[in-house]
Homo-oligomer: A and B are copies of this chain.
Amino acid sequence: MSNFKVKMAYDGSSYHGFQRQDNALTVQEVVEEAIKKLFLQDITIFGCSRTDTGVHANEYYFSFHCNDKIQINSRGIVFGLNSKLPDDIAILSCEEVDESFHARYNCIGKEYKYIIHNSEIKDPFLRTRVYKYWYPIDERLLNKAAKHFVGTHDFRSFCTNADEKENTVRTIHRFDVERYGDKIIMIVSGNGFLYNMVRIMVGTLLFVNEGKIDESDIPEIIEKKDRKFAGRTAGASGLYLNKVYY
């Protein structure tokens, strides 16, 4: 058996996330169909992460096994799959890896980027690619507030539908907020992320911006371990899986 690790990027605007679903179009389904056309067999791919509907990926990895009779090398997989995929999904590179490699289980960390278009006027080229936010943003305040998330904490307050028995402790390595013109760029990296965790942390920062939550209250919100004390879930359109670490 050969095992391949594939790097891709996708514009998630048209997809209900990565993970295959029965009644909605997902990235996994489209990629598996392209693989079937190339390899002439059904192959299941293992993604590094679920992503929500409308979330994008600048860097996403999946792995898959195929039997050694397939005479196609890594470069052939890149060009072959790209030719069979729609233009909003791109295969960036591919390498053969040890048979035990699994894109999800071997992942040791991830970095997300969140882009806010902070403007009164919309940008027709960014519509599904940013989170549009009209009200002026104080990026210094939010950058200060974001630092409360850095470290190892129980992030139960920042998770949608956390199961009682679920381990909700995660380590955030970095959370930076910077302004570039009318864009606010947030970079968050950590060893793992709960369901909607980045979007709820961003939504909480926006509550800080709106004066609904005080910056210094974030440690207490973390302590409460209850979703209802955190801010809203910010829109999916601004979120990009940006880097994946192995």
Q: Which residues of A contact B (CB under 8 A)?
A: 9-11, 56, 78-79, 82, 87-92, 120-125, 127-129
Contact = CB atoms under 8 A, between A and B. Distances in A.
Nearest to A57: B124
A122 B91 CA distance: 8
A63 to B, nearest CB: 19
26 contacts: A9-B123, A9-B124, A9-B125, A10-B124, A11-B124, A11-B125, A11-B127, A56-B125, A78-B121, A79-B120, A82-B121, A82-B122, A87-B122, A87-B124, A87-B127, A87-B128, A88-B124, A88-B127, A89-B124, A90-B121, A90-B122, A90-B123, A90-B124, A91-B121, A92-B121, A125-B129
Nearest to A83: B122
A120 to B, nearest CB: 8
A172 to B, nearest CB: 26
Nearest to A87: B127
Nearest to A9: B124
Among A78, A87, A129, residue most surrounded by chain B Cβ atoms (within 10 Å): A87
Contacts of A56: 125
Nearest to A78: B121
A124 B9 CA distance: 7
Contacts of A87: 122, 124, 127-128
Given A56-B125, A79-B120, A82-B122, 5 more contacts: A9-B125, A10-B124, A11-B127, A87-B122, A89-B124
